[in-house]
Amino acid sequence: MVATEWTQEKVSSRLVRYSDLRPCTTAFIDTHTPGSENKENFTIIGPGVAENPDQYVHINIPHGFNIGAARQPAGCINSQHSHDTAEVFVVHTGRWKFSLGETATDGDIELGPGDTISIPIHVFRGFTNVGDGPGFLFAVLGGDDPGQVTWAPYVFEDAKQHGLILLENGRLVDTSKGETVPSGENPMSPTTADDVMRLRRMTADEIIQCVVREAELDKTSTDVFGDDGLTSSAIVGAANDDEHMQAGKMAWPHGFHLRRWKLKPAYSTPWHRRDEAEVIMMHHGRLKYVWEGGELEMQAGDVLTAPIGLARQYVSGDDEAAIAYVVRGGNSPAGLSLTRASV
């Protein structure tokens, strides 16, 4: 039976605690550039787009999407770049400014805890921690292989002045450590003006349509089990008639869908299962994941990928509501199946 296969040890290997996150401080070409040198990058599920081969991947199981994170001190900048797949950010802590365009001058917007932004593909974006202390945000990228980053032209020149060279294969060479370009490999050509012209430009007014504020989510929530214990709010993805869930504000295809859960204190969901990948990114409070073989308690900042098809319950803490952001694979959400613990 499925439940007997999922031991405490096996399921625990699918939980990444915030306190156990292993950062890379030299993941990208701009990490020696003044203003960007103190950022920490994390690959939580999947390889992500890191350019340093030493970046640690916590869970290397294909999900159809990648989950990463960034932690930056106040004032720290992530330079302008674009992606070939969807990129969605969920702010966990701090205040963040997202800037658009090749030189970060096409417009910007600020987000706070619980806010979400989906930046379309082939749009230059950068982000800065504009809060008073350290900030942390989750990032979800579409696809098992989200490809390479396209950097704004200025990023290459700044990086070269500070000892970093990006190769055509997407790997970094750090000349400040005595590294040299390997024989037979070539530096990546900097992004050209023609390359820039082929990318999409967006204004601050346009990017507003790609943002969902946490304060909006209670207005669009659905009572999942009909007992007012767990409400779910669609953020990214199509409607799901089986769960009476309307489409998220960002309903265009991403390769995944995203919702926010809010559980009342001391609430236990009915036993149920899902036949798609389900990843829980804890935002607030405490939440237990319970299956026949054991249980795990999650706290803010923890990430769990629940085994597909395994019967489960979620149980919130006694003293406060639990809030989590939930990522599932595919553009069309599937409904859950109510079940018994032993199924």
Domain boundaries, the chain: 21-211, 214-338
Q: Given pLDDT bands bounded at 50, 70 and 90, which one contains residue 182? A: very high
Residue 1 scores a pLDDT above 50? no
Is 214-338 in the same CATH topology as 21-211? yes
Torsion of CA 73, 76, 79, 81, to 10 degrees: 30
**Between residues 139 and 5, which one has the greater pLDDT?**
139
Task: Specify the fold of 214-338.
Answer: Jelly Rolls (2.60.120)
Residue 343 scores a pLDDT above 80? no
The pLDDT value given to residue 307: 96
Q: What is the mean pLDDT of residues 254-271?
A: 97
293 with 13: CB under 8 angstroms?
Answer: no
DSSP 8-state secondary structure symbol assigned to residue 24:
B
The pLDDT value given to residue 236: 96
Beta strands in 5-106, from DSSP E residues, in sequence order: 15-16, 40-45, 57-59, 65-72, 77-82, 87-93, 96-100
Q: How does pLDDT run across 102-127, given as a tens digit for each residue?
A: 999 999 999 999 999 999 999 999 99
CATH number corresponding to 21-211: 2.60.120.10
The pLDDT value given to residue 342: 52
Q: Is the pTM for the entire model greater than 0.85?
A: yes
